[in-house]
Amino acid sequence: MSIQRPRNMDEMYLLLLLSGLCSLSSCVIEFKLFQNPMTWDEARAYCREECVDLATVDDMEEMQAALKAVKGGNGVWIGLQKGSQRRWHWSLTQKDFYKAGEKDYLIWGQQTDNNCGSYKNGLLYSVSCDRLYFAVCFDETKQGQDRYVLSSGKMDWMAAREYCRTHYTDLTSVRNEEESQILQEVVGAQQVWIGLFRDPWEWSDGSSSSFRHWMADLVVFTDLTVKECVIVRGSGRWEPQKCTDRRQFLCSCEKSFKQFHKVKISSKDSGLDLNDPAVKEAILKHTKQQLSGANVGVVQWSKHPDKREPDQSSSSGCKLFYS
């Protein structure tokens, strides 16, 4: 195909509007509420068909975003269900908080069938969650040893986590030997609560997130034989329910993006006339080829508004849209 050089145009501009869905590895996730009541399994299938999966909540910031999406709804499914095996987790879940291997730095003094973790003299002990100990909170706003704060009173493990999240960041983790040494300096020889716990709850998308936001005083470390799934209340607190109940549900969905790119094309170099339908078709075809592997759909031109008449303007604009 031959393209004629424009006679009365030195340069032109075109505006590219690029929009679509991100790749899963780099996408931004948003929460969407679906109001048609379904069982947990039905809701998961629907979310996987229409979005990504039932909602996974990684931290308190995402919990606030989920709560906005719930819009005051009461009893909405999220992607947490009870599995068949208990696993140890750290309560503190902030992104980039753990280096490689630090989540698994578990130096046991004694590991029993209990589900809450305590710390004494550099070692971990699994004990009943209703025991009363002082707690060590982690304060992300401080530096050095000041980040580790010993509570003024004794409490059970659930109350300790609530206390630390309310007044500081969370119950502390023990990520490495250096952190263990600091804790020994803070607490001495007494046994204290830290953020270690064991539960059977699993996320639908396979995430390893250990973030939990249960109703106050709720016992969640119990019978593995009862199949339960998790709802979020209007307060933002979580509660296990029968998975066969029909409820509204919250999905994790890929957030669409839009990008504008203004591209200058000089007739001195290319000889292109953007008002020529053949030129526009050639650019469109080339763009489609370039985007063929980019997980996008429709590619089309749309006219970019310009207050000046075409014959009075030294530039014109078009939008190339894909979604």
- pLDDT tens for 260-291 read 545 555 555 556 676 777 877 777 777 767 76
Question: Does 183 or 323 have the greater pLDDT score?
Answer: 183
Domain that holds residue 177: 29-253
Q: Which residues contact 303 (CB under 8 A, 6 or more apart)?
A: 317, 318, 319
Q: Is the pLDDT of residue 6 over 60?
A: no
* CATH (domain of 197): 3.10.100.10
Residue 58 lies in a domain: yes
Residue 66 lies in a domain: yes
CB 69 within 8 A of CB 32: yes
User: What is the pLDDT, as a whole number, of residue 302?
Assistant: 55
Clarify whether residues 212 and 64 are in a common domain: yes
Q: Which residues contact 311 (CB under 8 A, 6 or more apart)?
A: none
Q: Is the pLDDT of residue 180 over 50?
A: yes
**Listed residues 253, 280, 298: the one ending a domain:** 253
Clarify whether residues 88 and 110 are in a common domain: yes
Average pLDDT for residues 281-308, to the nearest whole number? 61
Clarify whether residues 154 and 167 are in a common domain: yes
Distance between CA atoms of 214 and 219, rounded to whole angstroms? 9
123-127 and 108-110 strand pairing: parallel
Reported as a single tens digit per residue, the pLDDT across 76-122 is: 999 999 998 999 999 999 878 999 999 999 999 999 999 999 999 99
Residue 3 lies in a domain: no
CB 250 within 8 A of CB 33: yes
Distance between CA atoms of 227 and 184, rounded to whole angstroms? 40
User: What is the pLDDT, as a whole number, of residue 138?
Assistant: 98
**Listed residues 198, 220, 253: the one ending a domain:** 253
Clarify whether residues 90 and 227 are in a common domain: yes
Clarify whether residues 239 and 289 are in a common domain: no
Question: Does 192 or 16 have the greater pLDDT score?
Answer: 192
Percent of residues, the chain, with pLDDT higher than 90: 61
Reported as a single tens digit per residue, the pLDDT across 213-234 is: 998 777 666 667 788 999 999 8
Clarify whether residues 101 and 173 are in a common domain: yes
User: Average pLDDT, whole number, for the chain?
Assistant: 82
User: What is the pLDDT, as a whole number, of residue 275?
Assistant: 73
Distance between CA atoms of 11 and 118, rounded to whole angstroms? 71
User: What is the pLDDT, as a whole number, of residue 226?
Assistant: 83
Clarify whether residues 118 and 193 are in a common domain: yes
Residue 1 lies in a domain: no
Distance between CA atoms of 219 and 117, rounded to whole angstroms? 16
**Listed residues 238, 253, 268: the one ending a domain:** 253
Q: Is the pLDDT of residue 31 over 90?
A: yes
Clarify whether residues 68 and 209 are in a common domain: yes
The DSSP bridge partners found for residue 126 are 117
Per the structure, how many domains does the chain have?
A: 2
Clarify whether residues 112 and 182 are in a common domain: yes
Clarify whether residues 118 and 149 are in a common domain: yes
The DSSP bridge partners found for residue 25 are none
The lowest-confidence range among 11-20, 230-239, 255-264 is 11-20
CB 85 within 8 A of CB 200: yes
Residue 225 lies in a domain: yes
Clarify whether residues 259 and 240 are in a common domain: no
